[in-house]
Amino acid sequence: MASRRAAEKLIVDGLVRINGHIVRVLGTKVDPDRDEVIVDGKIVRAFKKVYIALNKPPGCVCSHKDEHDRPTIYDLLPKEWQIVHSVGRLDFNSEGLIFLTNDGQFALRLTHPRYGVRKKYLATVEGEVNRAMLAQFVSGIWHAGEKLKAEKAVIVSGGRSRTVVELELSEGKNREVRRLFESQAVTVKRLQRIQIGKIKLGELKLGKWRTLTAAEIKTLLS
């Protein structure tokens, strides 16, 4: 119904009732399964927590709305699940595994650098890539005043015209994989995220989604 700050004002202004009683104490505990919460005369119910894995296609954005009216990942979901938000982002031209949820703690656990959740990518780049370049990625490079670093980087296949590289990252800074290659004047032709934590993209088709299992959610939170 409101942001945290706006919710605090609603409480202080006496517009929140719990089990019929006005509550003005911030931080009051509520059991959503047992307590009745009314805000400004309207009953509030907790959303059921939703956890979705989506294979994002290239050519769409991870925002609910786009100022250029480009397609969004939310166009691929049922209308009743528009309450979710992406856990991190993939840029417009990138594709692959992305999670969506309405559970803020789950999203924080997977995106905050202190948890170090690793993500794997397949980058198809122009030209030949040598192991010395990948060793630089692993030791870390500076780009636009920011240190970029891959935990692992290996050549999957390659030749003179094209190379496929698998990279594993733990921080997921903005466009980090693309910027690593840009720093070496190498052009990325295709970028696909294939794994987050222990959850792999697998056989999920481009543009399709599925819900995460309870076991998968537990694995990601561990």
Q: What amino acid positions are annotated as catalytic residues?
A: 91
- Closest to 97 measured CA to CA, from 52, 51, 54: 54
Q: Which residues of 38-64 are buried (b: 16+ CB within 10 A; e: fewer)?
A: eeeeeeeeeeeebbbbbbbbeebbbee
**HEC readout, 109-160:** HHHCHHHCCCEEEEEEEECCCCHHHHHHHHHCEEECCEEECCCEEEEEEECC
* Ramachandran assignment for 202, one of left (phi > 0), alpha (psi -120 to 50 degrees), beta (any other): left
Q: Which two tokens stand for residue 217?
A: 């959610």
